[in-house]
Each structure stands twice: as structure tokens, then as C-alpha cells.
Amino acid sequence: MGMISEADIEYIKRPQGQDVQADQTLSKTVQTIIEQVRERGDAALRDYSAKFDKTTPDNFEVSPNEIASALADLDPQTRKDSEFAIAQVKRFAQAQLATLQPLEIETLPGVHLGHRIIPIQTVGCYIPGGRYPILSAPVMSIVPAVVAGCDEIIACLPPGAHPAMIAICHLAGAHRIFKVGGAQAIAAMAWGTESVPEVNKVVGPGNAFVNEAKRQVFGKVGIDALAGPSEIYVVADESADPRILAADLLAQAEHDVHTRVGMATTSPHIAHETLAEIERQLRNLPTAATAGEAWKRQGEIVICRDEAQLIAWADYIATEHLQVHTRDPHATASKIRNYGSLFIGQNASVVFSDKCCGTNHTLPTMAAARYTGGLWVGAYVKICTHQWIDDHGIAAVAEPAVRQSRTEGMQAHRRAAEIRLFPHNVDAITN
Ligand code: HSO
Ligand code: ZN
């Protein structure tokens, strides 16, 4: 595998230093929020809602009437488009779930081992507020939980969220919806309050407070990955179209000034053209204030010597979304291993996955793609093993277990194994 460093490649545009959102007080603040919610339940939620959201809902749970009116107010075309997204995400999640198969195997005569695929009973989906009301956000967290067969799926969203978000939580299949946002929502789902039930696993992206809260409740509950601001990286050769590359880079840049966007190419011509094209497209982009700032701060373009270096660099970056715009994109793509999701060829824009093509848009950021993929139906099930051992099997496993336990000094373990060898003559068990 190619090891690569920044010394090996040539920067056409460098990021302006590291974009660290360091805030030492964050962790302490979040710790206090979690403690307060644990101790004081709804009373703490009311205080934090007043403080952070500037409003305190009468009831945290969204009532059937509110859901009905959110659905009635939902623009019909928006509803249809969300139903389309839900259907696509469902279809892919169902196919992925089908790849998870129960297992029964006799690994030795009489030693039967296996696993079952068991849905997590209760999950809590956090739906972020943020700069835009991202209509696909509830779809990505809730639909795979429905497909997995979780018994209870709850959704929490900030009290100021657009009612359309409530409607889509419902359409996606959430059983209960709560107007609780931020770190306090994560704390409520992890520990439970009078209004919000405690769940077994909390999923979904959020701001720095939400991420820190997820980190702190991990262990009490399961969590999915900690998703930071969206990222995109492109690997391109001379066959790429700079107008398309610029459009895709700016699409993710529009999320947040912290978004990381970049491109590696073997073609200096494409590098310079894309740089110019980004400036050109920014001129009339309505969200240029954010996208332009993100590009200025974190945008990068690098030149690689050849395809091998492109691939090594892409693996090093381990971006959330990796677009491959080369002459033979399938061949290039097949050699890359670190990415949240891979977009093969010019037509596969990140925007399709972001919205509606069916892959999940909640993906690893900040190089977490080196060790994990993104949110998927498999995150809502447990693969749990079982075993049964008949008399032949006892002959195979008991003696090694007896000896190993004795060596370790674990005499009760030794006896538990030995008693299987002499089930009708317990007195034969040695001290
Ligand atoms: N790119 C975001 C998801 C998204 N973008 C939805 C727009 N809509 C995180 O992958
Ligand atoms: Zn996006």
C-alpha cells in the first residue's frame, strides 16, 4: 500500500491552516447538561429549551393533532419527493438487511455455533436543526430503523424546527416525536425523562454539542459515528469536467464554513480550470457567503504524479464523500479503500445520495472512514452468537477448558467444565 505525505504532492490551493473548532469548555458544559437532565428530567429540559431555543413547548411530545396539521401543511410535491426518498432508502436498506444472514454451523463434531440478527429494541433518532431544514435528514436516520424492525423508534428535533420536518419524521416511520434539541435531547434519550423514554441506541448527526453529548452517553447507550461538518473530495484525471467538479465541491461547501472540500488530480490543466470555475460559480451562488468562506478556509487542490498517487492520497484523506472522475472510474474506484461513500463516474453526484438515491447520507467525517462506514440498517441490529454442545462436543471442548482454567487459577471455571465430563458423578470433580 502506498504511504503518502504532504511532501509528495503539489498544492495548487492549500487550506488556510487547520480548522480546529477547539472549545475546552464544551465538554464541561455538555457534562453539566447531561447531569441536569439525569437528575431533574423534564424540568431541566424546560430550562435548557428556554435558554438555548428561546422557547419552551407546552408538551415535549408532538401530539397527533400537531402531526396531522404538519402533514396537512406539507406542500404536496415536497411530500411526494420525500416519499420517493423514503422508498429508495427503504429499498436499499432492505437489500442490505438481506445480506445479514443467521448462521448455524457445527465447527467440531457436537459443537454447534451460530448467530442471529436481532433488531435493537428502542432507538432514538436525533434530527438536527442547523442552517437548512434538510428534509432528507429524518429519512436517513428513521427509515433503516423501520427496516431493521426496531420496536420503538423515537425522533427528537429542536423546538424551532420547520413543521415539515415533523411531518417527514412521521412519514419516515417514527413512532413518537419530541421537540427537544441539542445535548439535552441526547441526554433525555440516553437516560429518559418524564416525557422522553430512554432508548438503547442514539443515532443521527448534530452540532458540536450533540456530538459531545453522544460521546459522553456512549456506554449507557449505543451511538452511531460522530458526524462532523460535511466533506467532499474528488479524484480526477484530464477527462474530468471542471464545471461539474466545481458544482459538486460548492454543493458541499454550502453546508457550513467548516466544511472540507478538495480535489486531487493528475492534470494541472483540470486543477487550474476547476479553481477558476469555482470562483466563477461563486459569483452568482445565492449561498456564496457560506460556500465561499468554506472554500477559502478549507478548500484544497493538489496535483498527483499518477493514478497510484491519486489513490494513495484519497486513502490518506479518507473523506466522507469521494467522487471519482477518471477515464475508467470503476477501475480507479476499485483500488480505493478509505471513504464514507464512493461516487463512481461523472453522473454520481453527492447530491443524489444527500437527498434521494437510496444510500444513506450519514457518513464518517474527519477521516473516520479509515475505520468505519456510514449509518446503515446494520447499525440498528445486533449480531449475537449462541452455542449448543452435545455429548460429542463436550469431549472436544471440556478438557482444554479444564486445563486452561486450572492454569489460570480459575477453579470455579475449572469445575464448571469438569462437571460436564462427569454429569452423573459430581463427586468425581476434583478440588
Ligand atoms: N451532505 C450531507 C447530507 C445532505 N446534504 C443532505 C444536503 N442534504 C451529509 O452527508
Ligand atoms: Zn450535502
> Residue 358: left if φ>0, alpha if ψ -120 to 50, beta else—which one?
left
**Is residue 61 annotated as part of the catalytic site, yes or no?**
no
Q: Are strands 111-119 and 103-108 parallel, antiparallel or unpaired?
A: antiparallel
Q: How far apart are CA 88 and CA 84, in angstroms?
A: 6
31, 424, 375, 390: which is closest to 205 by C-alpha? 375
- Residue 428: the pLDDT is 73
- Give residues with Cβ within 8 angstroms of 378, minimum separation 6: 96, 97, 100
State pLDDT tens for residues 261-292. 999 999 999 999 999 999 999 999 999 999 99
State pLDDT tens for residues 81-100. 999 999 999 999 999 999 99
Residue 23 has pLDDT above 80, yes or no: no
Residue 137 has pLDDT above 90, yes or no: yes
Identify the DSSP state of 370.
G
**Which residue's CA lies nearest to atom 10 of ligand 1?**
361
State pLDDT tens for residues 305-347. 999 999 999 999 999 999 999 999 999 999 999 999 999 999 9
Q: How many helices (H) and strands (E) would you count in the chain?
A: 16, 14
Residue 21 has pLDDT above 70, yes or no: no
State pLDDT tens for residues 364-407. 999 999 999 999 999 999 999 999 999 999 999 999 999 999 99
320, 327, 319, 321: which is closest to 346 by C-alpha? 327
Catalytic pick from 170, 255, 258, 321?
A: 321
83 φ, ψ to 5°?
Answer: -65, -35
Catalytic pick from 212, 273, 320, 418?
A: 320
Q: How far apart are CA 431 and CA 404, in angstroms?
A: 15
354 CB within 6 A, ligand 1: yes
- Give residues with Cβ within 8 angstroms of 169, minimum separation 6: 125, 127, 138, 142, 155, 157, 177
Name the helix (H) or strand (E) containing 314: helix 307-317
Cα→Cα distances 290→13, 242, 281, 286, Å: 18, 21, 13, 9
Quote the ligand 1 centre to 178 CA distance (angstroms).
23
Do residues 185 and 156 lie in contact, with contact meaning Cβ atoms separated by under 8 Å? yes
Name residue, grid cell 457560506: 290
DSSP-derived 3-state class of residue 221? strand
- Residue 22: the pLDDT is 61
State pLDDT tens for residues 180-223. 999 999 999 999 999 999 999 999 999 999 999 999 999 999 99
237 CB within 6 A, ligand 1: no
Quote the ligand 2 centre to 318 CA distance (angstroms).
17
Q: How far apart are CA 217 and CA 78, in angstroms?
A: 35
Q: How far apart are CA 246 and CA 236, in angstroms?
A: 12
49 CB within 6 A, ligand 1: no
134 CB within 6 A, ligand 1: yes
State the average pLDDT over residues 66-93.
98
State pLDDT tens for residues 286-298. 999 999 999 999 9
**Is residue 321 annotated as part of the catalytic site, yes or no?**
yes
- The mean-pLDDT minimum among 19-23, 47-51, 106-110, 297-301 falls in 19-23
DSSP-derived 3-state class of residue 88? helix
Q: How far apart are CA 356 and CA 135, in angstroms?
A: 10
Name the helix (H) or strand (E) containing 103: strand 103-108
Closest ligand to C-alpha of residue 254 is: 2
Quote the ligand 1 centre to 86 CA distance (angstroms).
15
* Apex 416 CA angle, 413 and 417, nearest 5: 90
126 φ, ψ to 5°?
Answer: -90, 125
**Which residue's CA lies nearest to atom 5 of ligand 1?**
354
The alpha carbon torsion through 162, 164, 165, 166 (nearest 10 deg) reads 100
Quote the ligand 2 centre to 354 CA distance (angstroms).
5
Q: Which amino acid is at 164?
A: A
Report the DSSP beta bridge partners of residue 393. Answer: none
- Residue 150: the pLDDT is 98
| Percent of the chain residues topping a pLDDT of 70 | 98
- Residue 227: the pLDDT is 85
326 CB within 6 A, ligand 1: no
Residue 130 has pLDDT above 90, yes or no: no
Closest ligand to C-alpha of residue 227 is: 1
227, 223, 228, 226: which is closest to 123 by C-alpha? 223
Residue 255 has pLDDT above 90, yes or no: yes
ipTM over 0.85: yes
Furthest-apart CA pair in the chain: how many Å?
88
- Residue 425: the pLDDT is 76
248 CB within 6 A, ligand 1: no
Report the DSSP beta bridge partners of residue 402. Answer: none
- Residue 350: the pLDDT is 98
Residue 24 has pLDDT above 80, yes or no: no
State the average pLDDT over residues 17-24.
63
State pLDDT tens for residues 101-122. 999 999 999 999 999 999 999 9
Identify the DSSP state of 427.
G
Residue 18 has pLDDT above 80, yes or no: no
| Percent of the chain residues topping a pLDDT of 90 | 93
Residue 225 has pLDDT above 70, yes or no: yes
Average pLDDT, the chain: 96
201 CB within 6 A, ligand 1: no
